[in-house]
Amino acid sequence: MNSNWFKIVTKATKVEYGKNLLLKGMPVIFNKGGAKLKIGDNVTIKSSFFSNLVGLYSRTIIVTRAPKAEIVIGDNVGISGATIYARKGITIGDNTCIGGNCKILDNDFHPIDTEDRLRLLADVHGGDSELVPSREIRIGKNCFIGCNSIILKGTVLGNGCVVGAGAVVSGKFEDNCVIAGNPARVIRRLGNKG
């Protein structure tokens, strides 16, 4: 089912999107007031179980969670059942493919320190979001993010990177490398094609 009618809903939260956005199934796309969520041209977002045969176990979720958060998704990007969740910023370059069930998270969702965590829990309105550790994520152009991988806060992937299935990625990686494992590390370098 192509849910193009859902584009009307995204406009209500001031999500910007380019031409030829294709939604398969019903993604959760939410832009918090004061944040920026921009989707480029020719982007495909798959959210239904049968839209990707790797076996999606959830809909795609793309959320800006803080007033100054920013998510920018480039042109010709494909996303399948992924979660992209920003408190600071997430940038995804052109021609990048994000495999089934990936998580791209620029924050820890809660403080590490017990006292800070309790203070945040006591703040019903979540106003103390500075307590949540967050750092921007940048994913270059022409990347491939394998299914079930997790991209953690502060990660920078150069152009042409390939992330192996199930990898847990944190850190900075140069152009044209294959990254795999937990914790992820460079296992191969590719030619300058990226």
Q: What are the catalytic residues? A: 110
Contact assessment for residue 74 and residue 94, using Cβ atoms and an 8 Å cutoff = yes
Q: For residues 9 and 28, what is the distance between their CA atoms, to the nearest angstrom? A: 10
Residue 149: exposed, middle, or buried by beta-carbon count in 10 A (0-12, 13-18, 19+)?
A: buried
Task: Please give the Cα distance from 126 to 82 (Å, whole number).
Answer: 25
The dihedral over CA atoms of 6, 77, 55, 26, expressed in degrees to the nearest 10, equals 0
Strands of 89-92's sheet in order across: 16-17, 36-39, 70-73, 89-92, 137-139, 156-157, 172-173
C-alpha to C-alpha distance for 51 and 22, rounded to whole angstroms = 12
Q: What is the DSSP letter of 129?
A: G
Task: For residue 117, give the 3-state DSSP assignment.
Answer: helix
